Copies of this chain bind each other. A is one copy, B any other.
Amino acid sequence: MSGHKGPLVIVGGAEDKHEDMSILREFVRLAGGTHARVVVMTVATKLPVEVGAEYIDAFGRLNVEDVRTFDVSSRQAANRESACKAIAEATGVFFTGGEQIRITELLGGTKVDAVLHTRHNEGLALGGTSAGASMMSSTMIVDGSGDTNPRLGIVTMAPGMEFIDGVVIDQHFAQRGRLGRLLTAVAMYPHHLGLGIDEDTAVIVEDNELRVIGRGAVVIVDAGALLFSNIDHLKKNDPMALYGVKLHVLPTGYHFMLRERQPDVERLTRGELL
């Protein structure tokens, strides 16, 4: 493995585990193929046995030889040498869904946290779905209402696990009507690009580039160009006014440059996609 940061596979939840499994298949490829050593982290869920078994089965169907689940139900468990050793030897670590706050509360600052970052910086592939997607960023959405217009206070934010900077991630995006809550988040933190990832859809982040795979799409909302917002004048639950948000929709095969905050139009002019 190179000294190059590993890829991130950030999944919007409900990824296919039975049919063509395009997302989990791509995760396995990035983790080294059939010789991958995959650790499934069930820390986010309160049903680690059931959820773990699903992924053991799915990665088994993808012919991964070495898959194990690892649950963390206490911070002590996240400081055990055996845990660190399993992650140190893995080529891919995948975080299941559940509650993102469990991931940061149970892992944050532990030895497992440290070894995840060390190994990711050395090339370890990191994946996460639903709660496991949200926690990837430096600032994460913990909770919030769906099916609403942007309103002050409808979204609870917290520090995430810091595997990627400059973005805030929402999952089950179209399926749960989460435009309002993602806009609320980026209106508060316009430095951050909002990534709204649909179910059975993922972004793969390698260096500065993000690409999309899966059945749905990723909506990227960029409040960096905001002409006006009324956010300074609001009380809790007041509706937001936002002028001039930029929005991109990227389905499978499309690319986005994170630092430049723009889709990879060059790739299109080279005719690589159409």
Contact = CB atoms under 8 A, between A and B. Distances in A.
A148 B174 contact: yes
B250 A247 contact: no
A217 to B, nearest CB: 4
A222 to B, nearest CB: 10
Contact of A268 (B179, B228, B242, B249): B228
B254 A147 contact: no
Given A147-B177, A174-B179, A177-B176, A250 B246 contact: no
A92 interface: no
Contacts of A217: 149-150, 239-241
A183 B220 CA distance: 13
29 contacts: A147-B175, A147-B177, A148-B175, A148-B216, A149-B174, A149-B201, A149-B216, A175-B177, A176-B177, A179-B179, A179-B219, A217-B240, A221-B247, A227-B265, A228-B265, A228-B268, A233-B274, A240-B249, A242-B248, A243-B262, A243-B263, A243-B265, A244-B263, A245-B247, A245-B248, A245-B249, A246-B246, A246-B247, A247-B247
A228 B267 CA distance: 12
The copy count of this chain in the complex is 2
Interface string A182-220: 010000000000000010010000000000000111010
A150 B241 contact: no
B251 A241 contact: yes
A230 interface: yes
Contacts of A176: 147, 177
A243 B221 CA distance: 11
Contacts of A250: 241
A22 interface: no
A144 interface: no
A223 B249 CA distance: 12
A273 B233 CA distance: 10
Interface of A: 146-150, 174-177, 179-180, 183, 198, 201, 215-217, 219, 221, 227-228, 230, 233, 238-252, 254, 262-263, 265, 268, 273-274
A90 to B, nearest CB: 32
4 shortest interchain CB distances as A-B pairs: A177-B177, A239-B251, A149-B217, A242-B249
A265 B243 CA distance: 9
A250 B244 CA distance: 11
B249 A241 contact: yes
A248 B179 CA distance: 12
Contacts of A245: 246-249
